[in-house]
């Protein structure tokens, strides 16, 4: 069946959450948002493209930082209201320069930092 981004379920703001996972290691890197047009651009260019809610603009991941995400596989969930993009991640995915945004664990009621920023 041919894929049409319009068949996805978006929030009232026209957004759908997209989880980025490292295709090689399986590490969950980040979660951000896409519009229907960001989905189309991601599939057409092979460069993962989100919608920046703060800037209200398309956000080609890594365009300024160089930490690009090359699309390896694109997945839709059962309810069609969440996406999973498997990516080839160049450099750290997180704006804090850590490999993943999920670097804080909660263990025995305490926050534990699992990763330190990558040295430039």
Asked if 73 interacts with its own copies (CB under 8 A), we say yes
Question: Does 82 count as an annotated binding residue?
Answer: no
The C-alpha atoms of residue 67 and residue 88 are separated, in whole angstroms, by: 10
Residue nearer to its own copies on the CB measure, 31 or 68: 31
Question: Does 101 count as an annotated binding residue?
Answer: yes
User: Which residues share a beta bridge with 51?
Assistant: 58
Q: Are 15 and 45 in contact (CB under 8 A)?
A: no
- Decide: residue 110, CB within 10 A, 0-12 exposed, 13-18 middle, 19+ buried: exposed
The C-alpha atoms of residue 39 and residue 98 are separated, in whole angstroms, by: 25
Q: Are 100 and 118 in contact (CB under 8 A)?
A: no
Asked if 31 interacts with its own copies (CB under 8 A), we say yes
Asked if 26 interacts with its own copies (CB under 8 A), we say yes
Q: Encoding tokens for residue 76?
A: 């839709």
Nearest distance in Å: CB 66, its own copies:
19
Asked if 27 interacts with its own copies (CB under 8 A), we say yes
Please report, in range form, the residues annotated as the binding site for Mg(2+): 77, 79, 81
| Interface contacts to its own copies, rule CB under 8 A | 1-3, 17, 19, 21, 25-28, 30-31, 43, 73-79, 82, 84, 94-96, 98, 101-107, 109-111, 114
| Binding region | 77-79, 81, 94, 101
Binding residues for Zn(2+) are 78, 94, 101
């Amino acid at each position: 069946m041919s894929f049409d981004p319009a068949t996805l379920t978006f929030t009232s703001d026209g957004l759908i959450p997209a989880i980025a996972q490292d295709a090689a290691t399986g590490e969950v890197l980040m979660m951000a948002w896409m519009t229907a047009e960001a989905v189309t651009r991601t599939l057409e260019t092979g460069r993962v493209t989100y919608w920046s809610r703060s800037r209200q603009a398309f956000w080609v991941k890594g365009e300024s930082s160089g930490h690009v995400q090359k699309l390896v596989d694109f997945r839709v969930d059962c309810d069609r209201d969440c996406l999973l993009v498997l990516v080839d991640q160049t450099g750290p995915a997180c704006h804090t320069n850590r490999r993943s945004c999920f670097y804080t664990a909660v263990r025995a009621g305490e926050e534990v930092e699992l990763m330190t920023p990558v040295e430039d």
